[in-house]
Amino acid sequence: MIGERLREARKELKLSRDKFGKRVGVRREVIANMELGRVDMGQKELLLDLICSTYHINSDWLKTGAGQMFDEPPIGVQLRGWADTSLPGETEEFKERLIDLLVRLDKDNWTALVNKAVEMVEAKENSALEKTETSEQAETSWEREARLLEEEAAALRKGGRKCSALPPAKDA
């Protein structure tokens, strides 16, 4: 039945009836009535076509059950898979909010987001590189100072002189 498949697709998209309906310009009650088989789907042909194109639902699958559910995985489904894999420590509420925001971006927003992400990653990498270089320089300076002190102490001992930087030798 079309209504059952419509509900299945909506659930797969993890959308409420309200959110699902808003994107195609109808109230949640319209979606509920369609899912529950309370309307003649022949009268809703244009709405079904709009739903299929909006959510990339395979219209053959929706109308007959033949084929795959989606023409291609919708961005929301793709982002959900990414969020589950890449953000395992985050709450479901955070993931849903992030996905909801990302789904609403247009092409220009995506370009701006990518540019900002590149900028943030480069800044982080540069900061980490600077910290590493500073740490290596400090370590090198310390090692150099220790080596120079050891060399000075060895030279002074050979010459029989005392070095103030060394503890006094223990008498045998």
CATH label of the domain that carries residue 62: 1.10.260.40
Rg (CA), the chain: 33
Q: Domain check: are 9 and 60 in the same one?
A: yes
Q: Domain check: are 125 and 62 in the same one?
A: no
pTM summary value: 0.48
Q: Domain check: are 14 and 64 in the same one?
A: yes
Residue 12 forms part of a structural domain? yes
Over 70: is that where the pLDDT of 167 sits? Answer: no
Q: Among 5-14, 26-35, 138-147, which stretch is predicted with the lowest mean pLDDT?
A: 138-147
What are the beta bridge partners of residue 57?
A: 70
105-128 pLDDT, tens digit each? 888 998 999 999 999 999 888 887
Over 70: is that where the pLDDT of 166 sits? Answer: no
Q: Domain check: are 3 and 54 in the same one?
A: yes
Residue 167 forms part of a structural domain? no
Say how far apart CA 15 and CA 103 lie, in whole Å. 12
For every residue of the chain, which 3-state class applies, written as one string? Answer: CHHHHHHHHHHHCCCCHHHHHHCCCCCHHHHHHHHCCCCCHHHHHHHHHHHHHHHCECHHHHHHCCCCCECCCCHHHHHHHHHHHHCCCCCHHHHHHHHHHHHCCCHHHHHHHHHHHHHHHHHHHHHHHHHHHHHHHHHHHHHHHHHHHHHHHHHHHHCCCCCCCCCCCCCC
Q: Domain check: are 120 and 134 in the same one?
A: yes
pLDDT score, position 133: 66
Which of 64-78, 121-135, 139-153 has the highest mean predicted lDDT (pLDDT)?
Answer: 64-78
Q: Domain check: are 28 and 3 in the same one?
A: yes
Residue 46 forms part of a structural domain? yes
Q: Domain check: are 5 and 68 in the same one?
A: yes
Q: Domain check: are 124 and 144 in the same one?
A: yes
Range of the domain at 120: 109-156
Other beta carbons less than 10 A from residue 52's beta carbon:
21
Whether the CA torsion 114, 117, 119, 125 is positive or negative: it is negative
Over 80: is that where the pLDDT of 38 sits? Answer: yes
Residue 9: C-alpha distances to residues 18, 27, 33, 80, 129 (Å)? 14, 17, 15, 14, 47
What is the tally of structural domains in the chain? 3
Q: Domain check: are 54 and 95 in the same one?
A: no
Q: Domain check: are 59 and 16 in the same one?
A: yes
pLDDT score, position 164: 54
| The domain boundary residue, chosen from 82, 104, 126 | 104
Say how far apart CA 94 and CA 6 lie, in whole Å. 26
* Mean pLDDT (the chain, rounded): 84
